[in-house]
Amino acid sequence: AQTVTQSQPEMSVQEAETVTLSCTYDTSESDYYLFWYKQPPSRQMILVIRQEAYKQQNATENRFSVNFQKAAKSFSLKISDSQLGDAAMYFCAYNTGNQFYFGTGTSLTVIP
Amino acid sequence: EAQVTQNPRYLITVTGKKLTVTCSQNMNHEYMSWYRQDPGLGLRQIYYSMNVEVTDKGDVPEGYKVSRKEKRNFPLILESPSPNQTSLYFCASSFTGSYKSYEQYFGPGTRLTVT
């Protein structure tokens, strides 16, 4: 069975500091996509970053970057220079072409 | 404006009363999907559709039906709702392609309460 595990239900970070959210997944596929989504209190799901499994280079989007370790099936999200607006629930997700699998989420608090 | 719309946004109903939650997208996406979000469980896929007239079960399809008669619409039907279907529901859509991008656009969510 495909699974996505986020082992940190809650995390906190000081404003302007860096935080890393962890995610591991289980799959027997070789071709797939990984995503991080942000869900602020408004409940809207917002795509933060995407990683193709066939690419060795880690994806980056401004202050957001990932550490993709394919052999270890690990996909962590690093947020640099944290801002108050980064406070949200973050979900890791995995897709192999048809079905999507989401983790249980990490609630991130940003401390002023 | 490119968007996924869902209606209603909030719904309180009683056990056994059939209901439909509509979902529509204006981006010509092939792929559409329904999820439910419950505390501590994250998002779980209910049904998905790769294109018109093509639907398939996700991880939690029991108690739900879907149809995809038009590319833009993907309604979720609860024939006989039960209290355990009380949840936050999201519709999402995306393109598919040779690289399987599946970068999903989500609707605003529908908060359903079944009493």
Task: Tell me how crowded residue A81 is: count the other CB atoms within 10 A of its CB.
Answer: 11
With CA atoms as reference, the chain A residue closest to B51 would be: A98
Q: Do A95 and B33 touch (CB under 8 A)?
A: no
Smallest CA-to-CA distance from A57 within A48, A66, A46 is with A66
Which pLDDT tens digit goes with each residue over B9-36?
999 999 999 999 999 999 999 999 999 9
User: Which of A34, A38, A58, A57 is CA-nearest to residue A47?
Assistant: A38
Measure CB to CB from residue A44 to each of B41, B50, B108 and give the nearest one: B108
Q: Give the C-alpha separation, A8 to B13, whole Å.
A: 35
pLDDT of residue A28: 86
Q: Which of B102 and A63 is assigned the larger pLDDT?
A: A63
The tens digit of pLDDT for each residue in B66-92 reads: 999 999 999 999 999 999 999 999 999
What DSSP string describes chain B?
---EEEE-SEEEE-TT--EEEEEEESS--SEEEEEEEETTTEEEEEEEEEETTEEEE-S--TT-EE--SSSSB--EEESS--GGG-EEEEEEEE---TT-----EE---EEEEE-
Confidence class for position A74, pLDDT limits 50, 70, 90: very high
pLDDT of B34-70, one tens digit each?
Answer: 999 999 999 999 999 999 999 999 999 999 999 999 9
Do residue B100 and residue A31 have CB atoms under 8 angstroms apart? yes
Per-residue pLDDT tens digits for A44-72: 999 999 998 888 899 999 999 999 999 99
Q: What's the one-letter identity of residue A96?
A: T
Alpha-carbon gap: A19 to the closest alpha carbon of chain B (Å): 21
Report whether pLDDT(B100) > 60. no
pLDDT of residue B2: 84
